Amino acid sequence: MSKECAICGKKSMVGNNVSHAHNLNKRKFNPNLQRVRVVVKKGCVRKIDVCTSCIKAGKVVKAA
C-alpha cells in the first residue's frame, strides 16, 4: 500500500528529529490516511485511501 492520498496526492515527507543538543536524525512524516468506502464515478463504491483533511473538507462522498 502506498502512503499517498487518492484525492489530493499528499505523500510522506522527510525531515529531522532535533535533540536539545541539536543532533539531527532523519525521520519520515506520514499523512494520516484512512481506508474509506467512497462513491466514485457512476455510483460505484470503492475503498480508497484518503487523508483526514480531505474527509473533513468534504472532498469525498462516503458510501452508506
Per-residue pLDDT of the chain (64 residues; tens, 9 = 90+): 689 999 999 999 999 999 999 999 999 999 999 999 999 888 899 999 999 999 999 999 999 8
Q: Is 9 exposed, middle or buried (0-12, 13-18, 19+ CB in 10 A)?
A: exposed
Q: Which domains does the chain have, with CATH numbers?
A: 13-57 (2.30.170)
Partner residues linked to 47 by β-bridges: 37
Q: How many CB atoms lie within 10 A of CB 15?
A: 11
